[in-house]
């Protein structure tokens, strides 16, 4: 960035990735502790990497447990609830780490119900865990089994803050390819583009000092991409519900044709939300002279904090086009139509496996809602509509937390 010598007051940006706006956003994210710090990135190839985080990454968290053995002697001999019970591996078993729960006990100290408080990191379905909290004699250890996790494999994350110019290619989008059980600080990923100066021995803590990662959303699996050279528009059909809106920018990766690689702005949505839904949208790739058939394994990545298109008006705040809510790591769909803009109950697909709680926020199209009552793991869920200045509508689309 530099000042023009020909016009007083004009500032020229030679690299938008290093603009004052992006610098300010990055500083805010660091100051507010959004994301997870990075201590190392090891490259197997130019596109396959393992990221080591400074703290638990929070991926593949527990969302539901089954009581295998209720035990006895939990609490103080009075029926009630106990909070912040630790869930730990038994013996030498390899399990995820640092989940906690609220337990309900009877007068004998037997656990009769359990609800996740903190889902922890890197769990697998079938992990058996001991419940650790205050006890009284006679005591028998309770055992619970992980019956559901939120699997983040296939989600997209962005790495920010690798400072060295020689390794700046590491500041990119990545698709999560693996979270090993027990690997609470390790993630295997595939980068959106090849890292030119990849390091097989790892960047180390010096080069990653100040770097961090954050989730941007579920990776969108592209079934087909048809490009019309004369209009510059490509129509994309996806395997999963993409949840995109007009004016959002997405990154295409995996195509064998360079023409279809890069960041593009969504121009139209063609979803058919029926009993058997179909999902498609168009992007502006730019007018060209040829239209080769798209081949390869194509994905579209949400870019996180980036320069989307579109404007904000008095009548339309364009939440998806200009505002970028923080993604907490859950994507699903509505299980039923929201009948009217005044309806205060919603039905969520797969709610039993999502650990939805009072106070949680969700974004549904251009609207933000907040859960207003204690949840039971079943539909419907009562919500406050039109939170944070957004406008309530009747809709059926992708829901993210």
pLDDT tens digits along 339-353: 888 899 999 888 888
Beta bridge partners of 95: none
Cα distances from 306 to residues 261, 303, 356, in angstroms, run 17, 6, 28
What distance separates the 2 farthest-apart alpha carbons in the chain? 85
At residue 105 the predicted structure's pLDDT band, cuts being 50, 70 and 90, is: very high
pLDDT tens digits along 120-147: 999 999 999 999 999 999 999 999 999 9
pLDDT for res 401: 55
- By the 10 Å C-beta count (0-12 exposed, 13-18 middle, 19+ buried), 74 is classed as buried
The Cα–Cα gap between 260 and 286 comes to 10
User: What is the signed CA dihedral for 146, 83, 132, 117, rounded to 10 degrees?
Assistant: 30
The answer on pLDDT for 33 being more than 70 is no
Q: Mean pLDDT over residues 97-106, rounded? A: 96
The answer on pLDDT for 2 being more than 60 is no
Share of the chain above pLDDT 70, in %: 87
pTM of the model: 0.86
At residue 312 the predicted structure's pLDDT band, cuts being 50, 70 and 90, is: low
């Amino acid at each position: 960035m530099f000042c023009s010598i020909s016009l007083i007051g004009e500032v020229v940006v030679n690299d938008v990735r290093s603009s004052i706006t992006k610098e300010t956003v990055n500083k805010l994210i660091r100051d507010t502790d959004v994301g997870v710090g990075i201590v190392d990135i090891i490259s197997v190839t130019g596109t396959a990497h393992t990221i080591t985080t400074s703290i638990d990454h929070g991926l593949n968290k527990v969302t539901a447990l089954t009581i295998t053995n209720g035990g006895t002697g939990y609490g103080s001999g009075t029926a009630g609830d106990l909070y912040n019970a630790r869930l730990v591996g038994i013996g030498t078993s390899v399990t995820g780490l640092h989940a906690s729960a609220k337990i309900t006990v009877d007068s004998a100290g037997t656990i009769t119900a359990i609800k996740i408080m903190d889902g922890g990191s890197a769990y697998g379905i079938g992990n058996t865990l001991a419940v650790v909290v205050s006890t009284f004699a006679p005591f028998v250890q309770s055992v619970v089994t992980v019956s559901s996790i939120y699997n983040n494999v296939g989600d997209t994350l962005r790495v920010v803050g690798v400072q060295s110019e020689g390794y700046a290619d590491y500041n990119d989008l990545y698709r999560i390819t693996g979270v090993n059980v027990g690997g609470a600080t390790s993630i295997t990923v595939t980068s959106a583009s090849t890292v030119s100066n990849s390091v097989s021995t790892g960047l180390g803590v010096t080069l990653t000092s100040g770097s961090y990662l954050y989730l941007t959303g579920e990776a969108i699996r592209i079934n087909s991409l048809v490009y019309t050279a004369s209009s510059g528009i490509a129509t994309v059909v996806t395997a999963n519900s993409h949840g995109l809106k007009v004016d959002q920018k997405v990154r295409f990766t995996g195509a064998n044709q360079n023409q279809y690689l890069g960041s593009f702005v969504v121009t139209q949505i063609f979803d058919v939300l029926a009993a058997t839904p179909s999902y498609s949208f168009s992007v502006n790739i730019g007018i060209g002279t040829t239209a080769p058939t798209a081949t390869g394994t194509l994905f579209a990545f949400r870019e996180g904090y980036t320069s989307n298109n579109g404007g904000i008006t008095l009548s339309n705040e364009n939440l998806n086009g200009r505002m970028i809510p923080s993604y907490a790591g859950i994507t699903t769909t509505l299980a039923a139509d929201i009948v009217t803009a005044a309806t205060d109950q919603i039905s969520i697909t797969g709610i039993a496996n999502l650990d939805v709680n009072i106070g949680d926020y969700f974004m549904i199209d251009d609207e933000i809602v907040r859960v207003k009552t204690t949840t039971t793991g079943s539909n419907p869920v009562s919500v406050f509509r039109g939170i944070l200045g957004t406008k309530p509508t009747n809709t059926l689309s992708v829901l993210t937390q």
